[in-house]
Protein backbone atom coordinates (compact mmCIF):
# COMPACT_ATOMS: atom_id res chain seq x y z
CA UNK A 1 0.00 0.00 0.00
CA UNK A 2 2.76 2.43 1.03
CA UNK A 3 4.68 1.40 -2.09
CA UNK A 4 1.64 2.24 -4.26
CA UNK A 5 1.33 5.66 -2.63
CA UNK A 6 5.03 6.39 -3.22
CA UNK A 7 4.68 5.34 -6.87
CA UNK A 8 1.67 7.68 -7.25
CA UNK A 9 3.57 10.60 -5.74
CA UNK A 10 6.58 9.88 -7.95
CA UNK A 11 4.36 9.77 -11.05
CA UNK A 12 2.71 13.06 -10.08
CA UNK A 13 6.06 14.75 -9.58
CA UNK A 14 7.18 13.43 -12.97
CA UNK A 15 4.06 14.76 -14.69
CA UNK A 16 4.44 18.14 -13.00
CA UNK A 17 8.04 18.22 -14.14
CA UNK A 18 6.98 17.53 -17.72
CA UNK A 19 4.34 20.25 -17.47
CA UNK A 20 6.94 22.72 -16.23
CA UNK A 21 9.27 21.78 -19.05
CA UNK A 22 6.41 22.23 -21.56
CA UNK A 23 5.57 25.63 -20.12
CA UNK A 24 9.23 26.61 -20.12
CA UNK A 25 9.52 25.51 -23.75
CA UNK A 26 6.51 27.63 -24.67
CA UNK A 27 7.90 30.62 -22.80
CA UNK A 28 11.27 30.03 -24.45
CA UNK A 29 9.55 30.08 -27.88
CA UNK A 30 7.77 33.30 -26.96
CA UNK A 31 11.01 34.82 -25.67
CA UNK A 32 12.80 33.70 -28.84
CA UNK A 33 10.19 35.42 -31.01
CA UNK A 34 10.45 38.57 -28.91
CA UNK A 35 14.25 38.46 -29.02
CA UNK A 36 14.30 38.02 -32.81
CA UNK A 37 11.95 40.98 -33.29
CA UNK A 38 13.97 43.14 -30.90
CA UNK A 39 17.14 42.34 -32.88
CA UNK A 40 15.75 42.45 -36.42
CA UNK A 41 12.49 44.35 -36.02
CA UNK A 42 13.28 47.08 -38.55
CA UNK A 43 14.28 44.50 -41.16
CA UNK A 44 11.07 42.57 -40.52
CA UNK A 45 8.99 45.74 -40.92
CA UNK A 46 10.69 46.74 -44.17
CA UNK A 47 10.48 43.24 -45.71
CA UNK A 48 6.85 42.73 -44.69
CA UNK A 49 5.76 46.05 -46.20
CA UNK A 50 7.80 45.50 -49.39
CA UNK A 51 6.35 42.03 -49.97
CA UNK A 52 2.77 43.17 -49.44
CA UNK A 53 3.14 46.24 -51.65
CA UNK A 54 4.71 44.13 -54.39
CA UNK A 55 1.57 41.97 -54.39
CA UNK A 56 2.37 39.04 -52.10
CA UNK A 57 -0.70 37.83 -50.14
CA UNK A 58 1.08 38.52 -46.85
CA UNK A 59 -0.48 41.31 -44.74
CA UNK A 60 2.09 43.60 -43.15
CA UNK A 61 -0.27 45.30 -40.68
CA UNK A 62 0.31 42.64 -37.96
CA UNK A 63 4.06 43.31 -38.23
CA UNK A 64 3.44 47.05 -37.84
CA UNK A 65 1.32 46.32 -34.77
CA UNK A 66 4.20 44.28 -33.34
CA UNK A 67 6.47 47.23 -34.05
CA UNK A 68 4.13 49.37 -31.98
CA UNK A 69 4.28 46.83 -29.15
CA UNK A 70 8.08 46.81 -29.32
CA UNK A 71 8.19 50.62 -29.27
CA UNK A 72 6.59 50.59 -25.81
CA UNK A 73 9.83 49.06 -24.49
CA UNK A 74 12.43 50.64 -26.78
CA UNK A 75 12.93 54.37 -26.94
CA UNK A 76 12.94 55.70 -30.50
CA UNK A 77 11.90 52.41 -32.13
CA UNK A 78 8.49 53.76 -33.18
CA UNK A 79 10.06 56.51 -35.29
CA UNK A 80 12.54 54.09 -36.85
CA UNK A 81 9.82 51.58 -37.73
CA UNK A 82 7.63 54.37 -39.11
CA UNK A 83 10.39 55.58 -41.44
CA UNK A 84 11.25 52.02 -42.54
CA UNK A 85 7.62 51.21 -43.36
CA UNK A 86 6.92 54.47 -45.19
CA UNK A 87 10.08 54.25 -47.31
CA UNK A 88 9.51 50.57 -48.13
CA UNK A 89 5.95 51.28 -49.28
CA UNK A 90 7.06 54.30 -51.28
CA UNK A 91 9.79 52.27 -53.03
CA UNK A 92 7.46 49.44 -54.06
CA UNK A 93 4.69 51.83 -55.11
CA UNK A 94 7.11 53.89 -57.22
CA UNK A 95 8.04 50.79 -59.20
CA UNK A 96 4.36 49.98 -59.81
CA UNK A 97 3.75 53.58 -60.86
CA UNK A 98 6.61 53.33 -63.36
CA UNK A 99 5.17 50.05 -64.68
CA UNK A 100 1.78 51.73 -65.14
CA UNK A 101 3.38 54.60 -67.05
CA UNK A 102 5.33 52.24 -69.33
CA UNK A 103 2.84 49.38 -69.80
CA UNK A 104 -0.51 51.12 -69.24
CA UNK A 105 -3.51 48.93 -68.65
CA UNK A 106 -1.65 45.73 -69.40
CA UNK A 107 -0.07 45.76 -65.95
CA UNK A 108 -3.50 46.39 -64.37
CA UNK A 109 -5.03 43.43 -66.19
CA UNK A 110 -2.14 41.23 -65.08
CA UNK A 111 -2.56 42.25 -61.45
CA UNK A 112 -6.28 41.56 -61.60
CA UNK A 113 -5.81 38.13 -63.15
CA UNK A 114 -3.44 36.95 -60.41
CA UNK A 115 -5.59 38.33 -57.60
CA UNK A 116 -8.16 36.25 -55.72
CA UNK A 117 -11.02 38.55 -56.74
CA UNK A 118 -10.12 39.84 -60.22
CA UNK A 119 -13.57 40.74 -61.52
CA UNK A 120 -14.34 44.44 -61.85
CA UNK A 121 -11.20 45.45 -59.94
CA UNK A 122 -9.99 47.92 -62.59
CA UNK A 123 -13.38 49.63 -62.85
CA UNK A 124 -13.68 49.95 -59.07
CA UNK A 125 -10.25 51.54 -58.81
CA UNK A 126 -11.00 53.86 -61.73
CA UNK A 127 -14.20 54.86 -59.96
CA UNK A 128 -12.21 55.72 -56.85
CA UNK A 129 -9.89 58.00 -58.85
CA UNK A 130 -12.89 59.54 -60.63
CA UNK A 131 -14.60 60.37 -57.31
CA UNK A 132 -11.62 61.26 -55.12
CA UNK A 133 -8.75 62.08 -57.47
CA UNK A 134 -5.35 62.08 -55.76
CA UNK A 135 -7.00 61.43 -52.38
CA UNK A 136 -7.30 57.83 -53.61
CA UNK A 137 -3.57 57.51 -52.97
CA UNK A 138 -4.06 58.67 -49.38
CA UNK A 139 -6.73 56.07 -48.54
CA UNK A 140 -5.39 53.28 -50.78
CA UNK A 141 -3.42 51.49 -48.05
CA UNK A 142 -6.55 51.19 -45.91
CA UNK A 143 -8.68 49.58 -48.67
CA UNK A 144 -8.06 45.93 -49.65
CA UNK A 145 -7.49 45.63 -53.39
CA UNK A 146 -6.92 49.33 -53.89
CA UNK A 147 -3.48 49.37 -52.28
CA UNK A 148 -1.76 47.32 -55.00
CA UNK A 149 -3.68 48.76 -57.97
CA UNK A 150 -3.66 52.48 -57.14
CA UNK A 151 0.02 53.17 -58.04
CA UNK A 152 0.02 51.53 -61.52
CA UNK A 153 -3.41 53.02 -62.25
CA UNK A 154 -2.11 56.48 -61.36
CA UNK A 155 0.73 55.90 -63.81
CA UNK A 156 -1.61 54.62 -66.53
CA UNK A 157 -3.86 57.67 -66.10
CA UNK A 158 -0.91 60.01 -66.67
CA UNK A 159 -0.46 61.47 -63.18
CA UNK A 160 2.75 63.47 -62.84
CA UNK A 161 5.65 61.86 -60.99
CA UNK A 162 5.94 64.68 -58.47
CA UNK A 163 2.24 64.62 -57.68
CA UNK A 164 2.21 60.84 -57.27
CA UNK A 165 5.26 60.73 -55.01
CA UNK A 166 3.90 63.45 -52.73
CA UNK A 167 0.40 62.08 -52.25
CA UNK A 168 1.50 58.45 -52.11
CA UNK A 169 4.10 59.24 -49.44
CA UNK A 170 1.39 60.98 -47.42
CA UNK A 171 -0.84 57.90 -47.68
CA UNK A 172 2.00 55.51 -46.80
CA UNK A 173 3.01 57.60 -43.80
CA UNK A 174 -0.58 57.84 -42.55
CA UNK A 175 -1.11 54.09 -42.86
CA UNK A 176 2.16 53.15 -41.14
CA UNK A 177 1.66 55.75 -38.41
CA UNK A 178 -1.85 54.55 -37.58
CA UNK A 179 -0.82 50.88 -37.37
CA UNK A 180 2.25 51.54 -35.20
CA UNK A 181 0.29 53.91 -32.94
CA UNK A 182 -2.47 51.33 -32.42
CA UNK A 183 0.16 48.73 -31.51
CA UNK A 184 1.75 51.17 -29.05
CA UNK A 185 -1.56 52.10 -27.40
CA UNK A 186 -2.72 48.49 -27.02
CA UNK A 187 0.69 46.89 -26.42
CA UNK A 188 -0.42 45.23 -23.17
CA UNK A 189 -3.48 43.61 -24.77
CA UNK A 190 -1.54 42.46 -27.86
CA UNK A 191 1.25 41.05 -25.69
CA UNK A 192 -1.30 39.14 -23.60
CA UNK A 193 -2.91 37.77 -26.77
CA UNK A 194 0.44 36.59 -28.10
CA UNK A 195 1.23 34.83 -24.84
CA UNK A 196 -2.17 33.16 -24.83
CA UNK A 197 -1.61 31.90 -28.39
CA UNK A 198 1.85 30.72 -27.38
CA UNK A 199 0.32 28.71 -24.53
CA UNK A 200 -1.95 26.93 -27.01
CA UNK A 201 1.07 25.78 -28.96
CA UNK A 202 0.48 23.93 -32.23
CA UNK A 203 -3.31 24.12 -31.84
CA UNK A 204 -3.27 27.90 -32.39
CA UNK A 205 -1.16 27.53 -35.52
CA UNK A 206 -3.44 24.82 -36.95
CA UNK A 207 -6.54 26.89 -36.17
CA UNK A 208 -5.07 29.95 -37.91
CA UNK A 209 -4.02 27.90 -40.93
CA UNK A 210 -7.49 26.32 -41.14
CA UNK A 211 -9.15 29.75 -41.05
CA UNK A 212 -6.88 31.10 -43.80
CA UNK A 213 -7.39 27.97 -45.93
CA UNK A 214 -11.17 28.17 -45.52
CA UNK A 215 -11.21 31.84 -46.51
CA UNK A 216 -9.06 31.22 -49.60
CA UNK A 217 -11.19 28.23 -50.61
CA UNK A 218 -14.38 30.30 -50.37
CA UNK A 219 -12.93 33.14 -52.43
CA UNK A 220 -11.60 30.78 -55.09
CA UNK A 221 -14.96 28.99 -55.28
CA UNK A 222 -16.74 32.33 -55.65
CA UNK A 223 -14.27 33.37 -58.35
CA UNK A 224 -14.94 30.13 -60.26
CA UNK A 225 -18.70 30.65 -60.06
CA UNK A 226 -18.43 34.24 -61.28
CA UNK A 227 -16.21 33.22 -64.20
CA UNK A 228 -18.62 30.46 -65.15
CA UNK A 229 -21.48 32.95 -65.26
CA UNK A 230 -19.42 35.46 -67.24
CA UNK A 231 -18.37 32.91 -69.85
CA UNK A 232 -21.99 32.09 -70.63
CA UNK A 233 -22.77 35.61 -71.85
CA UNK A 234 -22.71 36.31 -75.59
CA UNK A 235 -19.73 38.33 -76.80
CA UNK A 236 -18.90 39.96 -80.14
CA UNK A 237 -15.45 40.47 -81.64
CA UNK A 238 -14.42 44.11 -82.30
CA UNK A 239 -14.60 43.65 -86.08
CA UNK A 240 -18.17 42.31 -85.81
CA UNK A 241 -19.20 45.25 -83.65
CA UNK A 242 -17.68 47.74 -86.10
CA UNK A 243 -19.57 46.03 -88.94
CA UNK A 244 -22.86 46.27 -87.04
CA UNK A 245 -22.30 49.96 -86.37
CA UNK A 246 -21.80 50.58 -90.11
CA UNK A 247 -24.85 48.56 -91.18
CA UNK A 248 -27.41 49.62 -88.58
CA UNK A 249 -28.49 52.86 -86.96
CA UNK A 250 -30.01 51.26 -83.85
CA UNK A 251 -26.78 49.79 -82.46
CA UNK A 252 -25.15 51.71 -79.61
CA UNK A 253 -21.89 51.21 -77.75
CA UNK A 254 -22.04 51.58 -73.97
CA UNK A 255 -18.89 52.43 -72.01
CA UNK A 256 -19.21 51.23 -68.41
CA UNK A 257 -15.77 52.36 -67.23
CA UNK A 258 -15.56 55.01 -64.52
CA UNK A 259 -15.13 58.31 -66.35
CA UNK A 260 -12.82 61.01 -65.06
CA UNK A 261 -11.12 64.10 -66.42
CA UNK A 262 -7.83 62.18 -66.18
CA UNK A 263 -8.94 59.62 -68.76
CA UNK A 264 -7.35 60.53 -72.12
CA UNK A 265 -9.63 61.14 -75.10
CA UNK A 266 -7.57 58.70 -77.14
CA UNK A 267 -8.91 55.94 -74.90
CA UNK A 268 -12.58 56.56 -75.78
CA UNK A 269 -14.72 55.26 -78.64
CA UNK A 270 -16.60 57.93 -80.64
CA UNK A 271 -20.33 58.05 -79.96
CA UNK A 272 -20.25 55.59 -77.06
CA UNK A 273 -22.79 56.22 -74.33
CA UNK A 274 -21.70 56.08 -70.70
CA UNK A 275 -23.38 53.99 -68.01
CA UNK A 276 -22.37 54.50 -64.39
CA UNK A 277 -22.57 51.12 -62.65
CA UNK A 278 -22.49 52.80 -59.24
CA UNK A 279 -25.75 54.64 -59.98
CA UNK A 280 -27.95 52.20 -61.86
CA UNK A 281 -31.60 53.18 -62.02
CA UNK A 282 -34.38 54.00 -64.45
CA UNK A 283 -33.12 57.57 -64.76
CA UNK A 284 -29.85 56.22 -66.21
CA UNK A 285 -31.76 55.12 -69.34
CA UNK A 286 -33.54 58.41 -70.07
CA UNK A 287 -33.50 58.93 -73.81
CA UNK A 288 -32.21 55.44 -74.57
CA UNK A 289 -34.35 53.80 -77.34
CA UNK A 290 -36.15 50.69 -76.16
CA UNK A 291 -35.83 49.03 -79.57
CA UNK A 292 -32.09 49.60 -79.93
CA UNK A 293 -29.34 47.06 -79.37
CA UNK A 294 -26.65 47.93 -76.84
CA UNK A 295 -23.11 46.57 -76.84
CA UNK A 296 -21.33 47.15 -73.55
CA UNK A 297 -17.58 47.29 -73.00
CA UNK A 298 -15.12 47.89 -70.16
CA UNK A 299 -11.44 47.39 -69.30
CA UNK A 300 -11.81 44.47 -66.88
CA UNK A 301 -10.50 40.93 -67.08
CA UNK A 302 -13.28 38.58 -68.29
CA UNK A 303 -15.32 41.66 -69.35
CA UNK A 304 -16.85 41.48 -65.87
CA UNK A 305 -18.29 45.01 -65.69
CA UNK A 306 -19.56 44.87 -69.26
CA UNK A 307 -21.41 41.61 -68.56
CA UNK A 308 -22.95 43.08 -65.44
CA UNK A 309 -24.16 46.10 -67.41
CA UNK A 310 -25.54 43.94 -70.22
CA UNK A 311 -27.43 41.77 -67.74
CA UNK A 312 -28.92 44.88 -66.15
CA UNK A 313 -29.96 46.26 -69.56
CA UNK A 314 -31.67 42.98 -70.42
CA UNK A 315 -33.57 43.13 -67.15
CA UNK A 316 -34.81 46.56 -68.28
CA UNK A 317 -36.11 45.17 -71.58
CA UNK A 318 -33.14 46.15 -73.79
CA UNK A 319 -31.25 43.88 -76.13
CA UNK A 320 -27.64 43.74 -75.03
CA UNK A 321 -24.39 41.98 -75.85
CA UNK A 322 -20.74 42.47 -74.88
CA UNK A 323 -17.67 43.62 -76.79
CA UNK A 324 -15.15 40.82 -76.30
CA UNK A 325 -11.90 42.14 -74.81
CA UNK A 326 -13.29 45.61 -74.15
CA UNK A 327 -11.46 48.82 -75.00
CA UNK A 328 -8.10 47.03 -75.24
CA UNK A 329 -9.32 44.66 -77.96
CA UNK A 330 -10.94 47.57 -79.83
CA UNK A 331 -7.67 49.52 -79.74
CA UNK A 332 -5.55 46.54 -80.79
CA UNK A 333 -7.86 45.99 -83.76
CA UNK A 334 -6.99 49.50 -84.98
CA UNK A 335 -10.60 50.74 -84.85
CA UNK A 336 -11.68 54.36 -84.46
CA UNK A 337 -10.92 56.27 -81.24
CA UNK A 338 -11.56 59.89 -80.35
CA UNK A 339 -8.81 62.28 -81.34
CA UNK A 340 -6.95 63.74 -78.40
Residue pLDDT, tens place only, 144-203: 767 778 888 888 778 889 999 999 999 999 999 999 999 899 888 877 777 776 676 667
pLDDT tens for 33-47 read: 556 666 777 888 999
77-91, 120-134, 155-169: range with lowest mean pLDDT: 120-134
Q: What's residue 277's pLDDT? A: 79
Name the residue ranges covered by the structural domains of the chain. 2-200, 233-332
User: Which pLDDT band holds residue 210 (cuts at 50, 70, 90)?
Assistant: confident
Residue 322 has pLDDT above 70, yes or no: yes
Q: Output the CA–CA distances (angstroms, integers) from residue 309 to 11, 22, 249, in the order listed.
A: 73, 60, 21
Binned at pLDDT 50, 70 and 90, residue 100 comes out as confident
Give tens-digit pLDDT for 228-279.
776 777 889 999 999 999 999 889 999 988 765 445 545 788 889 988 877 7
Q: Return mean pLDDT, the chain.
A: 77
CA distance 151 to 128: 13
Among the four given CATH numbers 3.30.420.40, 3.60.70.12, 3.40.250.10, 3.40.50.80, the one describing domain 233-332: 3.40.250.10
DSSP E strands in the chain: the ranges are 235-236, 251-255, 273-274, 293-297, 319-323
Instruction: Report the pLDDT value the prediction gives residue 133, as an integer from 0 to 100.
Output: 72
Amino acid sequence: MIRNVLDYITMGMSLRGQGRRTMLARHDAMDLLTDLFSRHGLLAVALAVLLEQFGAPLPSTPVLLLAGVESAQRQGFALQAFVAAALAAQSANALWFWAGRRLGRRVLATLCRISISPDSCVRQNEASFARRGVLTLVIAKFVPGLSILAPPLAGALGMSVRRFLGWNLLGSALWAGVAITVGRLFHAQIDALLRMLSSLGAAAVLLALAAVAGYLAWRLWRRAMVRRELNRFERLAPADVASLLRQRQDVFLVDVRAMSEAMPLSNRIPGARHLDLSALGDAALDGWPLAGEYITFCACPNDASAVRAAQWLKQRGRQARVLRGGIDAWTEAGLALEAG
